[in-house]
């Protein structure tokens, strides 16, 4: 499973649901971190991410998490 950042689209920010509440409606993922109601970090398969985008693409943006490597 890969790590993704899911954020609520700006035009959907007036909705009362948090990003975590939206993604928890789709089985097969693990929430790795939240703290900001409009953003959540998840671990999921590409199929699960596709399902999130299919169901909530008008509300959420899903992007692969970019991890910075420390250079020597």
Instruction: Kindly state whether residue 29 falls inside one of the protein's structural domains.
Output: yes
Classify each residue of 40-69 as buried b or exposed e, where b means 16 or more C-beta atoms within 10 Å of its C-beta: bbbebeeebbebbeeebeebbbbeeeeeee
CATH code of the domain covering residue 24 = 3.30.70.250
Residue 71 has pLDDT above 60, yes or no: no
Residue 67 has pLDDT above 80, yes or no: no
Instruction: Kindly state whether residue 70 falls inside one of the protein's structural domains.
Output: no
Instruction: Kindly state whether residue 36 falls inside one of the protein's structural domains.
Output: yes
pLDDT digits (tens, 9 = 90+) for 26-64: 999 999 988 899 999 999 999 999 999 999 999 999 999
Instruction: Kindly state whether residue 11 falls inside one of the protein's structural domains.
Output: yes
pTM: 0.85
Give the span between the Cα atoms of 22 and 2, in whole angstroms. 19
Parent domain of 12: 2-64
Instruction: Kindly state whether residue 22 falls inside one of the protein's structural domains.
Output: yes
Instruction: Kindly state whether residue 50 falls inside one of the protein's structural domains.
Output: yes
- 43 backbone dihedrals φ, ψ, rounded to 5°: -110, 130
- Name the domain count of the chain: 1
Instruction: Kindly state whether residue 71 falls inside one of the protein's structural domains.
Output: no
Considering only CA atoms, which of 31, 53, 60 is closest in space to residue 44? 31
């Amino acid at each position: 499973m890969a790590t993704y950042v899911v954020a609520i689209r700006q035009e959907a920010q007036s909705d009362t649901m948090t990003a975590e509440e939206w993604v928890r409606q789709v089985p097969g993922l693990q929430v790795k971190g939240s703290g900001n109601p409009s953003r959540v970090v998840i671990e999921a398969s590409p199929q699960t991410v596709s399902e999130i985008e299919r169901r909530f693409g008008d509300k959420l943006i899903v992007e692969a998490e970019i991890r910075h490597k420390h250079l020597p």
